Structure 1
Amino acid sequence: MIQVSPFDSGLYQTLLSDTEAGRWLNDQAQIRAMLRVEGELAEAQAEAGLIPAEAASAIAAAAASLVPDPDSLAAGTASAGVPIPALVKALKAALPAEQARWVHFGATSQDIVDTALVLNCAELITLFESRLKAMITALADLADAQRGTLVAGRTRTQQAVPMSFGFKVAQWLSPLLRQLERLEELKPRLLKTQLGGAVGTLAAMGDKADLCGQILARRLGLGCGNNWHTQRDSLVELSGWLGLCTGALGKMSQDWLLMAQTEVGEIRFSNGGASSTMPQKCNPVNAEIMLAMARHNAGLVGQMHQAMLHEHERSGSSWAQEWLLLPQQLMSTAVALKHGLDAMAHIEINPTRMLHNLGAFNGVIYAEAATFELARSMPRDQAASLLKQACSEAMSGDAHLFDLVARHSGVQLDVTQMQQRLLSDGATTAWLDAVLQQARAQQP
């Protein structure tokens, strides 16, 4: 087998792939799902009175036991542009002629491929939900534990004002909670059968067509989707969800990378990768891969929108484009979540370094809080003007901001008291508690 993508590489599989997700994305998973659909379709047609019950039972049994080698289907797939004709031929070969003639009755290849895809997506969604909930729990525990730790809040890469590190963690957590909500809303639109026949009308099944579709959906545990051969909005919606999920994880991992820089040192990861020549290094590999997956998925979302452009009642090119894109997105999301959980198990917080960084540049990070404190005893415009002058002097000299404020105003500010107010005042406590309450509700 030719290996081009790192997702399929033996060399990179532990770093850039995921075994659990691969169970539902590999050739064997697709073949199993397609055979399951063929078997259940026959049973549904028998239940509706369209084909003989004996034939349906034999087809279902053969579909359940047949394990064709993907290589044996490759030539047929290349010739037809889709694997179903070769798979149907193999299934028919396992049956007597009288029963074989009812295989794939009235269906089209896209019905089987798309419904099989949805079945495997359902399994992957279960995996994503499990990992998201585990990630949410880990982040909630960290946010709660660190709610009393001050860290420099940063805007446009520069120190702004101090904030609760626990609240910062809660901000990483919040979009993951929304991702669970979005996924729940998405399921009914995505997890549905495809059964339309040649051009979507299911004409070959006559007056049993609609009933067959409803029975097939029930037997597969899916919604009844009827025909969506060229209406791919639900798959594109899934693509968008995957992009949002890895994007939320990527934002978090980018913060981790910045906070773990040697000069910052506010966090580190005990499982970081070593350098071959620099033994002091502890590279944050998990965060790097999470960010790479976010960027990769973001690019694929746009291409999936291009794959919506099917012509008339079936497209070969747009459909094939999905085959290239969606599996990569599904795998990227699984990989990002795997690395996220691994990182959370090895993250180390350095409150001492956080406090040290707050004291950089002679305490100017407290300028906003000092302005509002001074405004208790003088007009706010005067307080702001005084702090602007004091900040300029602190940045260019050796004196601490609070000493300069005392020199210019006669008011001695207490840094410890101000730090406590920064933790307790404002919306931090209420908003942090609200996020944690939502997170705890996801726990079993």
Structure 2
Amino acid sequence: MTGDAHPLDPLAALGGDEASDDAVLAAMVDVERALLRAWGELEEVDVAAEAARLDAARLNAAALAEGNALHGNPVIALLAGLREQVPAEGPARDLLHRGATSQDVVDTALVLVVARSLPSIRHDLVTAGERLAELADRHVATLQVGRTLTQHAAPITFGTTAAGWLDGVTSAIDGLDRLSLPVQLGGSVGTGTAIALSAEGADAPDALRTALAAWLELDDPGRSWHTERTPILRIAAALTATVGAAGRIGAAVSELARSEVAEVAVGSGGASSAMPQKRNPVLPVLLVSAARRAPGALSVIAGALVAEDQRPAGAWHSEWPPLRELLVLALQSAAALSQLAAGLSVDVERMRDALDSQGGAAWAEPASALLARRDGPSAASAAVREALAAAESDHTSHLLDRLGLSRADLERTVFDRSSLIVDAAVARFRRVAEPGSRGEDRR
């Protein structure tokens, strides 16, 4: 009845098709096609026409599902279907999947799905980053109260807040750009011996792996990594960091958009089924939800590092669902963050009012620092504490007025620091995000 409505997954509407079942199946067929072409190069035979015939759309979905459950992985049933698409006569049928094992296909296909998803994630992160950079520049002199452990702490600007969010986005982009996306080709026990025997050369497995990587536009790791799972862990960690960076912004926006704070507003809010006046910050909520799910998926993949023998019983299999979950969460979080950043608005007056509340107590630290330079630390501390105590009973005067300090002088230093922080954050983002960077030209 519900079809693809995803009633318990609101993020699903924001994307993730790049990592769908169809996308994974297509990637496995592409791996087999590329391996066939690589064998054709190595054996100097023409298999281009036969390779082109391989088509995921012509496979029997029911047979694949049955075979997956029967054999514990999808490749055996996949091969049965692909062999039906290759002519019985000629070299292609013999070369299809030659020397490979199921893990070679699954690992390489999953990495290929990641590679095909990264441009979309990157695009949305860069789009969000551009908007955050714009907000940081625009509000470099918009005073805001900084909060630590939920309490008012010291003056900042919203420019530095946005710059901090931008730093997380920049780090996420940089982490994804630096990923190695390796093919897997080791054969039954990771040594490539069957490939070497088939091609009559000990170096044939390396040549075949290099050709496979070239056809798929993936990295050649120079080795098999059947039980050395750090390549998958690094991918999972980078995806988790991406989801976490978006979730951190979602959490911060949720707090700043609270009714009693209202320093920012989300472009469009969701309705409440019971309270007609509410406009819920849906995108921030969904970003936080995704960020809370991601570490659990990452922990499963980290657990798969403990891999016995030349192929472990269950550890390798346990990686598949959480890796895809992380990839989908990263796709959806990047899309949601882009939308959130585009619709975010700032209430400058609310920020100023919050900073000046409580008699300007948030200025205590910078006031102490300024007075200490003139009167010494002890005298400065005593003066500020006395002024704060007086302010507790009388909020009609400002802390800085009680201390005889110029608000303009202190604000100028806050603005100067804000300008430096914002400029550095924006410059770092521009370096990472610009066309021609590692992430743009690696494929």
Superposition RMSD in Å:
2.3
1:193 aligned residue (160, 172, 183): 183
Equivalent-residue separation in structure 2 for 1:156 and 1:181 (angstroms) = 29
Pair 1:394–1:211, CA change in 2 (3 A):
same
Identify the match of residue 320 of structure 1 among 306, 317, 322.
317
For structure 1, list consecutive stretches of 5 or more residues without a partner in the other structure: 407-411
TM-score (norm 1): 0.89
Residues 404 and 141 of structure 1, relative CA distance in 2, 3 Å threshold: closer
The residue aligned with 1:108 is: 101
Residues 196 and 229 in structure 1, CA contact (< 8 A), matched pair in contact too: yes
Partner Cα separation in structure 1 for residue 388 and residue 369 of structure 2: 15
1:150: Cα distance to partner? 0.1
Against the structure 1 CA distance between its residues 102 and 439, is the aligned structure 2 distance closer, same or farther, given a 3 Å change threshold? closer
1:353 Cα deviation (Å)?
A: 0.6
Instruction: Look up the SS of the partner of 1:179 in the other structure.
Output: helix
Report the alpha carbon displacement of residue 439 of structure 1 after superposing the two structures with TM.
Answer: 2.2
Give the whole-Å Cα distance in 2 for the aligned partners of 1:369 and 1:250: 31
**What do the CA deviations read for 1:5-54 (whole angstroms, capped 9, x no partner)?**
xxx753355x22256432x322211221111111221121121117xx25
Q: Distance in 2 between matches of 1:358 and 1:436?
A: 25
Contact 1:179 1:241 (C-alpha < 8 Å) held by counterparts: yes
Q: Is this contact kept in 1: 2:33–2:54, CA < 8 A? A: yes
Which of 72, 77, 82 is the matching residue for 1:91?
A: 82
Work out whether residues 148 and 423 of structure 1, in 8 Å CA contact, stay in contact via their aligned partners in 2.
yes
SS in 1 for 2:34: helix
The equivalent of 2:213 in structure 1 is 217
Change (3 A) 1:215 1:384: same
Task: Say whether the 8 Å CA contact 1:290–1:339 is kept in structure 2.
Answer: yes
Q: C-alpha distance in 2, partners of 1:113/1:163?
A: 50
CA contact (8 A) 2:145 2:154 kept: yes
1:143 correspondence with 2:141: no
Native 8 Å contact 1:394 1:404 kept in 2? no
Distance 1:169 1:299 in 2: 28
> Does residue 262 of the first structure (1) align with residue 263 of the second (2)?
no
Instruction: Give the match for residue 429 of structure 2.
Output: 439
Q: Which residue of 1 aligns with 2:12?
A: 17
What amino acid maps onto 1:369 in structure 2?
A: P
Question: Is 1:346 matched up with 2:343?
Answer: yes
Deviation at 1:381, TM superposition (A): 1.5
- Percent identical pairs in the alignment equals 31
2:407 alignment counterpart = 415
Aligned to 2:43: 49
Residues 244-277 of structure 1: CA deviation (Å, up to 9, x unaligned): 1222222222111111111111011131112233
Q: TM-score, normalised by structure 2?
A: 0.90
- After superposition, residues 32-431 of structure 1 pair within 5 angstroms as 32-49=26-43, 53-54=45-46, 56-64=47-55, 67-99=58-90, 100-187=93-180, 191-205=181-195, 206=197, 207=201, 208-225=204-221, 226-375=223-372, 377-402=374-399, 405=402, 412-424=404-416, 427-431=417-421
Deviation, 1:379, is 3.3
Partner SS for 2:363: helix
Q: Which deviations, in whole Å up to 9, do the C-alpha atoms of 1:368-406 show, x marking residues without a partner? A: 233334446533321210110110121233442448725
Q: Report the CA distance shift for 1:354/1:36 in structure 2 as closer, same or farther (over 3 A).
A: same
How far off its partner does 1:421 sit? Answer: 3.6
User: Is contact 1:370–1:387 with CA below 8 Å preserved after alignment?
Assistant: yes
Deviation at 1:94, TM superposition (A): 2.3
Q: 1:373 to 1:202 in 2, by over 3 A?
A: closer
* Cα distance in structure 2, aligned partners of 1:19 and 1:316: 35
Instruction: Describe the shift of the 1:418–1:102 C-alpha distance in structure 2 as closer, same or farther (beyond 3 A).
Output: closer
Distance between the aligned counterparts of 2:277 and 2:401, measured in 1?
A: 40
How far 1:304 moved relative to its partner? Answer: 1.0
Distance 2:401 2:212 in 1: 77
Structure 1 residue 417: deviation in Å?
A: 4.5
Structure 1 Cα separation of the partners of residues 306 and 19 of structure 2: 24
| Shift in Å, 1:176 | 1.9
From the superposition, tell whether residues 233 and 276 of structure 1 become closer, same or farther in structure 2 (CA, over 3 Å). same
CA distance in 2, matches of 1:88, 1:125: 28
**For 1:223, what is the secondary structure of its paired residue?**
coil
Secondary structure of residue in 2 paired with 1:98: coil
Note the C-alpha offset of 1:227.
1.4
Higher RCO (C-alpha under 8 Å, 6+ residues apart): 2
Q: Secondary structure at the match of 2:153?
A: strand
**Amino acid corresponding to residue 193 of structure 2 in structure 1:** A
- Cα deviation for residue 182 of structure 1 reads 2.3
Tell me the secondary structure at the aligned position of residue 99 of structure 2: coil
Alpha-carbon distance between aligned partners in 2 of 1:209 and 1:375, rounded to the nearest angstrom: 70
- Equivalenced residue count is 425
